[in-house]
Structure 1
Amino acid sequence: MSGQRLKDAALPLFAEQGYEGTALSEIAKAVGIKTPSIYAHFASKEALFLEIYRDVMRHELLMLQEVVQEKHATMEAELRAFFYKVTDFGVNSQVKRFFQRAIFFPPQSLAKQMREEMMTYEAMTSKSIGEILGKKLGSAQKEKWVFLFYCLLDGLSLEHEIYSQEDFAKRRDAAWESLAALL
C-alpha cells in the first residue's frame, strides 16, 4: 500500500462527495485496507486532502507551463491556447472537479491555508498570462484583462456543470471572443 494509491482512491471521492461527505472508511475500502492503516501514510484526513490539493495545483501549473512553452504564431494564439486549456473541464474531469470543489468549498479547518496557497497559485498563473500580454498591453490594461480572465474562468467552471457540452462550448467560445476583442 502506498500513499499515492490512497490519494488516487481519495481524489474521486473528494471530487464527488466533498471533504465533509467523504469518510476515511470509504477511502480505505476503495483500496482494500482497514481505516486505521491510512494513518501509516497520512496524519489525518486533512493531511490527505491537503496533499491531494497541492498535487492538483502542481499538475495544473505544469499543464499551463506546457502551453506557455509551446510555439504559437501570435500572442492571441498563445492566450487562446491558455484559455482553452484551463477551461477544458472534460480532460481530467475528476481532477478539475476536485480543484473546483476545493476552491469554492474548502474544508472549514483548512480554508485559510488553502486560500493562501490558492493566491500563490493564482499569482503564478497571472504572471504567465502577464508575460504573454506584456508583448502588447500596458500594465493597467494587462491587470484588467487578467481580472476578466479569472471572472470568465470561474463562471465557465460553474457553467460546465449546468449546461450540455454543446451549450457550454458555445458559451466558452463567446467568452473567448469577448476576451480576445480586448487585445
Structure 2
Amino acid sequence: MTKKLIKEVALTLFAEKGYDGTALSEIAKAVGIKTPSLYAHFPSKEALFMEVYQDSIHTELSELSKVADEEALGGEEKLRTIFFVATDFSRSPDEKKFFQRAVFYPPKSLFEELKEETRTYEQLTNDILRKTLEPALPEDALTRWMHVFYALLDGLSVEHGIYDETEFELRRKSAWEVLASLLG
C-alpha cells in the first residue's frame, strides 16, 4: 500500500511542480513517512519518477487497447474513439499533466531514458492504431495518418491548457474531422 501511495502522491506533485520542483521530502511528508523510508521502496528520485512515468504509459495503453479490442465498433468509429480517449485531457488530469511535463520538459538527467520509454510507448500505440487502420489504408497512407494523429495529439495537449472547455471541444472535433478525412 505504501509504495502505491508514494507513487500516487509523487504523480500529483510531479504533475504540479515538475521533477526539479519536487523534493523527496515533500513526497514523504504528504505520504506520512520520513524521507529515508522512501528509499525502502525506490532507490532514487529518478527511479520513482521513471516508475510513475511507466505506470502512466501503461494506463494510457490499457485504455487505448480496450477501445481497439471493442468488437462492436467499426473501423472509423473505433479510430474516432481512440482519438477522443487519447485527447481527453480532463480524464485523469494529474496523469495527463505529468505525462506532458515528462515528454515536453523532461528532467535533463533522465532525458535519454524518457526518450526511449516514449519511443516504446509510441511504437505500442502505433501497433494499436495499425491493427485498426491496416485493413483500410496502404502502408504509406497509414504512416502519414499516424504522423498527423501525433501532431494533433501534441497540439491539442497544449490547447487544452489555453482554451475553455467549449472552445477546446470545438477544436478537438475539428481536429478529428481533418484526421478522419485522411481515411479516404
TM-score normalised by L of structure 1: 0.97
Tell me which residue corresponds to 1:40: 40
Give per-residue Cα distances to partners, 1:89-144, cap 9 Å, x unaligned.
00111111111111111111111011011101101101111121111110000000
Question: Equivalent residue for 2:108?
Answer: 108
In the alignment, the residues of structure 2 paired with residue 66 and residue 20 of structure 1 have an alpha-carbon distance, to the nearest angstrom, of 34
Aligned position for 1:163: 163
| Number of residue pairs aligned between Structure 1 and Structure 2 | 183
- Helix, strand or coil for the counterpart of 1:40? coil
Partner of 1:17: 17
Deviation at 1:73, TM superposition (A): 4.2
One-letter amino acid of the counterpart of residue 173, structure 1: K
State the 1:72 CA deviation. 3.9
SS where residue 157 of structure 1 aligns?
helix
CA distance in structure 1 between the aligned counterparts of 2:157 and 2:2, rounded to whole angstroms: 32
Q: Secondary structure at the match of 1:20?
A: coil
Aligned to 2:150: 150
Partner secondary structure for residue 161 of structure 1: coil
3-state SS of paired residue (1:51): helix
**Of Structure 1 and Structure 2, which has the larger fraction of its residues in helix?**
1
Letter in 2 for 1:153: L
User: Which deviates more from structure 2 when the two are superposed, residues 158-167 or residues 127-136?
Assistant: 127-136
| In structure 1, C-alpha distance between the alignment counterparts of 2:110 and 2:139, rounded to whole Å | 34
Find the counterpart in structure 2 of residue 176 from structure 1. Answer: 176
For residues 89 and 51 of structure 2, the distance between their equivalents in structure 1, rounded to whole angstroms, comes to 22
Structure 1 residue 74: deviation in Å?
2.4
The C-alpha deviation readout for 1:52-98, integer Å capped at 9, x for no partner, is 00111111111111010112442110100000000000011111111
Match of 1:90 in 2: 90
1:72-87 matched pairs, under 5 angstroms:
72-87=72-87
Unaligned runs of 5+ in 1: none
73 and 59 in structure 1: CA distance in 2 versus 1, 3 angstrom threshold: closer
TM-score normalised by length of structure 2: 0.97
Secondary structure of the residue aligned to 2:106 is coil
Looking at structure 1, the residues matched to 121 and 91 of structure 2 have their Cα atoms a distance apart, in angstroms, of 20
> Runs of 4+ in structure 1 displaced over 2 angstroms?
71-74
Give the whole-Å Cα distance in 2 for the aligned partners of 1:112 and 1:41: 23
Q: Is structure 2 residue 137 aligned with structure 1 residue 137?
A: yes
Secondary structure of the corresponding residue to residue 106 of structure 1: coil
Counterpart CA distance in 1 for 2:111 and 2:34 is 28
Q: Which stretches in structure 2 are left out of the alignment for 5+ residues?
A: none
